[in-house]
């Protein structure tokens, strides 16, 4: 099968084009460095199946960072049948330097100028025919985001694959000149709105408070819309159990009924009920992100990050980590300096991922009023940032972290419904894959631990889980964390999705009865202490594995494990001991 590779500078819309062409769901975002791995999908070109490869963005072919190596190694080892050079029509001249380097490789190549819509809005005029004539290259102008001009690309690909011709090298030296001559940028390119918005959003004093208010509003909205949906789902799951499952499973032996209903069904549905809330959160975040606003936040915080030995990119990774810490850890590949990369990696596991968000939404809605709950969540996000910052402060200066880098400011862009829905769908898929891998296994194990040996009262001190929690008691009691919760924490080490599922199993309750029981057994101080611990200690096994794989350092992995456990314990201890004295 033939290979077509998408190559270009960061944030030029390669992944958007990849998704548009193949129907895939590669992550797209309005800042440079979103893609750090090679992605492939199949595509039909003129009746032939070809393999399309999406690559990380690069500025030149001589870089040695991990993400750049992905590209250079791919080009060297695979020699693609066709290179599609993706460039933004709004920055053609600047990006033609990379084009010149690619032509020197000598593979067949066509040029796609994307962001036609943006170029048009800025009044940029491009003489495609003259440009193609002068450079001898096949060219097309399109907007992958809005799906305009895609038919030109299909024709271009068909022709290039049918009659592959290596580029004529002689014209490469004057590429920048050719682009300057045939791409007319008006003297007063209309960036009016972007500048006006930046005057407010990047304001020295207003910028950061405004960002915090914005995020506060996002939480309010997620809660206001998502809570009723979650309650509805819980009711439906309960009705299904009573109406259909219980009668159906009646012929089975008692213990198997218990395992299937109180273990797997209760565990899974309790967690699944939170998925709509999480999806909503990411749909909102995709709007904040894709408009380009989050890059402004990274810019505002860059100076503060520098004091901790990090830079604005670290903040961007924390924001990526809100979904899942694993891709955020991989995202550090864009950082050239190893010292800086390792320091950034050490801070990422504190980023409050969607799995932890489920736990917090659950506890916040049980222990606090509807008015308080969004603020409780917000406070946890602030503590997550504070823990990451503290970690950087403690560990900075243990290796050279100097790295020259310019935070590129993307223009403001309209999010599309398609992108928002894709982001939401990705969360659902993430949940399903984690559910099949960890949650089912986790709740089954918890069920056995809390129901065996046979004959003892479920979840009592005589069960295996009871014995384990007695061993842990000296550590968890000073934090106000009771034995049941400490079992949940133990399993949360594997994946945070198991935490609520295992509570449902431990108590043998779901829906309203579970929340009522918990609300009676726990006050808000114990709950918040539990949330603090859950927030700060190791997120999950996959994160540890990725940390080890990406850093190739066992030492760093161990430091991360021990430090986060220690910090979690210390924070919960200090909070709990002070709080019970203030609010007896």
Ligand X SMILES: Nc1nc2c(ncn2[C@@H]2O[C@H](COP(=O)(O)OP(=O)(O)OP(=O)(O)O)[C@@H](O)[C@H]2O)c(=O)[nH]1
Q: Does 29 bind ligand X (CB under 6 A)?
A: yes
Select the residue interacting with ligand X from 12, 135, 538, 543 (CB under 6 A): 12
Euclidean distance between CA atoms 139 and 177, whole angstroms: 16
Select the residue interacting with ligand X from 131, 144, 233, 504 (CB under 6 A): 144
Instruction: Please report, in angstroms and rounded to a whole number, the separation of the first and last CA atoms in the chain.
Output: 71
Residue listed under structure tokens 């500078």: 9
- Give min distance, CB of 282 to ligand X, in A: 15
Smaller CB distance to ligand X: residue 313 or 430? 313
Select the residue interacting with ligand X from 4, 5, 7, 16 (CB under 6 A): 16
- Give min distance, CB of 144 to Mg ion, in A: 11
Select the residue interacting with Mg ion from 12, 15, 354, 358 (CB under 5 A): 15
Considering only residues 263-292, where is the footprint of ligand X by CB under 6 A?
290
- Give min distance, CB of 316 to ligand X, in A: 11
Judged by CB under 6 A, how many residues of this single chain contact ligand X? 25
Instruction: List phi, psi (to 5°) of 328.
Output: -65, -40
Q: Does 331 bind ligand X (CB under 6 A)?
A: no
Looking at 29-37, 70-78, 415-423, 463-471, which segment touches Mg ion (CB under 5 A)?
Answer: 29-37
- Give min distance, CB of 34 to Mg ion, in A: 5
Q: Which two tokens stand for residue 483?
A: 């034995």
Q: Could you tell me which residues come within 8 angstroms of residue 463 by beta carbon, excluding any fewer than 6 positions away?
A: 449, 450, 451, 452, 453, 456, 457
- Give min distance, CB of 30 to ligand X, in A: 3
Q: Does 30 bind ligand X (CB under 6 A)?
A: yes
Smaller CB distance to Mg ion: residue 172 or 330? 330
Contact (Cβ atoms closer than 8 angstroms) between residue 54 and residue 144? no
Q: Specify the 3-state DSSP secondary structure of 425.
A: helix
Q: Could you tell me which residues come within 8 angstroms of residue 131 by beta carbon, excluding any fewer than 6 positions away?
A: 139, 178, 179, 182, 183
- Give min distance, CB of 515 to ligand X, in A: 39
Query: Could you tell which of Mg ion, ligand X, none binds residue 525, using a CB distance below 5 to 8 A set by kind?
Result: none
DSSP state of 457: P
DSSP string, 49-97: EEEEEE----S-S---SHHHHHHHHHHHHH--SEEEEEEEGGGHHHHHH
Query: Could you tell which of ligand X, Mg ion, none binds residue 488, using a CB distance below 5 to 8 A set by kind?
Result: none
Instruction: List phi, psi (to 5°) of 577.
Output: -65, -40
Pairing mode, strands 48-54 and 2-8: parallel
- Give min distance, CB of 533 to Mg ion, in A: 36
Select the residue interacting with ligand X from 7, 34, 380, 479 (CB under 6 A): 34
- Give min distance, CB of 289 to ligand X, in A: 8
Looking at 91-99, 138-146, 237-245, 457-465, which segment touches ligand X (CB under 6 A)?
Answer: 138-146
Q: Exposed/middle/buried for 451, CB within 10 Å: 0-12, 13-18, 19+?
A: buried
- Give min distance, CB of 11 to Mg ion, in A: 8
Report which residue's Cβ sits closest to ligand X. 57
Query: Could you tell which of ligand X, Mg ion, none binds residue 13, using a CB distance below 5 to 8 A set by kind?
Result: ligand X
Smaller CB distance to ligand X: residue 20 or 484? 20
- Binding-residue pattern over the window 370 to 389 for ligand X, x denoting contact by CB under 6 A: --------------------
- Binding-residue pattern over the window 412 to 431 for ligand X, x denoting contact by CB under 6 A: -x------------------
Q: How many CB atoms lie within 10 A of CB 521?
A: 12
Name the percent of the chain in helix, strand, coil, to the closest 5.
65, 10, 25
Query: What are the residue ranges of helices labelled H in 241-353?
Result: 246-249, 254-258, 266-272, 275-290, 293-307, 312-321, 325-331, 338-347
Q: How many CB atoms lie within 10 A of CB 154?
A: 15
Smaller CB distance to ligand X: residue 96 or 143? 143
- Give min distance, CB of 292 to ligand X, in A: 7
Query: Could you tell which of ligand X, Mg ion, none binds residue 30, using a CB distance below 5 to 8 A set by kind?
Result: ligand X
Query: Could you tell which of Mg ion, ligand X, none binds residue 114, using a CB distance below 5 to 8 A set by kind?
Result: ligand X
Q: Which two tokens stand for residue 20?
A: 């548009």
Select the residue interacting with ligand X from 5, 32, 278, 443 (CB under 6 A): 32
Considering only residues 83-122, where is the footprint of ligand X by CB under 6 A?
114-115, 117-118
Q: Exposed/middle/buried for 249, CB within 10 Å: 0-12, 13-18, 19+?
A: middle
Smaller CB distance to Mg ion: residue 38 or 561? 38
Q: How many CB atoms lie within 10 A of CB 124?
A: 20
Select the residue interacting with ligand X from 28, 70, 485, 532 (CB under 6 A): 28
Select the residue interacting with Mg ion from 19, 22, 30, 35 (CB under 5 A): 35
Select the residue interacting with ligand X from 7, 52, 56, 137 (CB under 6 A): 56
Smaller CB distance to ligand X: residue 33 or 501? 33
Contact (Cβ atoms closer than 8 angstroms) between residue 443 and residue 267? yes
- Give min distance, CB of 285 to Mg ion, in A: 18
In 81-196, beta strands by DSSP E: 82-88, 109-114, 125-126, 138-141, 183-184
- Give min distance, CB of 6 to ligand X, in A: 8
Peptide bond into 453 cis (omega under 30): yes
Q: Which two tokens stand for residue 326?
A: 């694993």
Euclidean distance between CA atoms 450 and 467, whole angstroms: 10
- Give min distance, CB of 151 to ligand X, in A: 15
Q: Which residues bind Mg ion (CB under 5 A)?
A: 14-15, 34-35
Q: Which residues bind ligand X (CB under 6 A)?
A: 10-16, 28-30, 32-35, 56-57, 114-115, 117-118, 143-145, 290, 413
């Amino acid at each position: 099968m033939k290979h077509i590779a998408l190559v270009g500078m960061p944030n030029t819309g390669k992944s958007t084009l990849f998704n548009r062409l193949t129907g895939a769901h590669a992550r797209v975002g309005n800042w440079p460095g979103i893609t750090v791995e090679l992605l492939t999908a199949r595509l039909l070109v003129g009746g032939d199946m070809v393999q399309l490869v999406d690559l990380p963005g690069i500025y030149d072919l001589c870089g040695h960072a991990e993400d750049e190596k992905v590209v250079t190694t791919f080009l060297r080892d695979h020699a693609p049948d066709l290179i599609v050079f993706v460039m933004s029509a709004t920055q053609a001249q600047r990006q033609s330097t990379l084009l010149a380097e690619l032509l020197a490789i000598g593979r067949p190549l066509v040029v796609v100028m994307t962001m036609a819509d943006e170029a048009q809005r800025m009044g940029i005029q491009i003489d495609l025919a003259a440009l193609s004539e002068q450079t001898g290259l096949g060219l097309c102008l399109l907007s992958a985001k809005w799906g305009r001009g895609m038919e030109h690309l299909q024709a271009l690909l068909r022709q290039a694959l049918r009659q592959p011709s290596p580029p004529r090298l002689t014209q490469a030296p004057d590429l920048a000149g050719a682009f300057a001559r045939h791409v007319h940028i008006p003297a007063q390119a209309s960036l009016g709105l972007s500048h006006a918005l930046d005057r407010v959003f990047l304001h020295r004093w207003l910028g950061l408070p405004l960002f915090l208010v914005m995020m506060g509003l996002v939480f309010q909205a997620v809660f206001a819309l998502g809570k009723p949906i979650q309650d509805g789902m819980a009711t439906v799951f309960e009705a299904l159990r009573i109406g259909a499952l219980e009668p159906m499973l009646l012929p089975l032996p008692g213990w198997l009924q218990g395992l299937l209903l109180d273990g797997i069904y209760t565990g899974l549905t309790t967690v699944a009920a939170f998925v709509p809330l999480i999806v909503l959160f990411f749909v909102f975040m995709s709007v904040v992100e894709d408009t380009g606003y989050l890059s402004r936040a990274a810019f505002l915080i860059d100076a503060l990050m520098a004091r901790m030995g990090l830079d604005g990119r670290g903040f961007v990774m924390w924001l990526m980590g809100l979904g899942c810490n694993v891709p955020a850890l991989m995202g550090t590949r864009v950082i050239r300096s190893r010292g800086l990369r390792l320091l950034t990696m050490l801070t990422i596991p504190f980023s409050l991922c969607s799995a932890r968000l489920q736990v917090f939404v659950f506890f916040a809605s049980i222990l606090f009023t509807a008015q308080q709950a969004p603020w409780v969540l917000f406070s946890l996000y602030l503590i997550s940032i504070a823990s990451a910052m503290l970690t950087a402060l403690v560990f900075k200066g243990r290796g050279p972290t100097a790295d020259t880098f310019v935070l590129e400011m993307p223009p403001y862009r309209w999010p599309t419904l398609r992108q928002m829905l894709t982001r939401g769908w990705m969360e659902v898929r993430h949940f399903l894959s984690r559910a099949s891998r960890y949650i089912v296994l986790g709740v089954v194990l918890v069920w056995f631990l809390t129901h065996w040996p046979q004959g003892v009262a479920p979840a009592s001190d005589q069960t295996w889980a009871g014995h384990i929690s007695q061993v842990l008691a000296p550590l968890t009691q000073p934090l106000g964390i009771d034995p049941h919760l400490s079992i949940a924490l133990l399993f949360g080490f594997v994946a945070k999705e198991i935490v609520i599922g295992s509570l449902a199993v431990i108590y043998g309750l779901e829906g309203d009865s579970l929340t009522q029981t918990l609300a009676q057994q726990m006050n808000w101080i114990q709950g918040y202490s539990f949330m603090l611990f859950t927030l700060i200690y190791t997120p999950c096994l996959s994160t540890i594995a990725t940390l080890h794989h990406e850093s190739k350092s066992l030492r760093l992995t161990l430091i991360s494990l021990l430090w986060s456990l220690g910090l979690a314990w210390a924070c919960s201890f200090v909070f709990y001991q002070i709080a019970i004295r203030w609010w007896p």
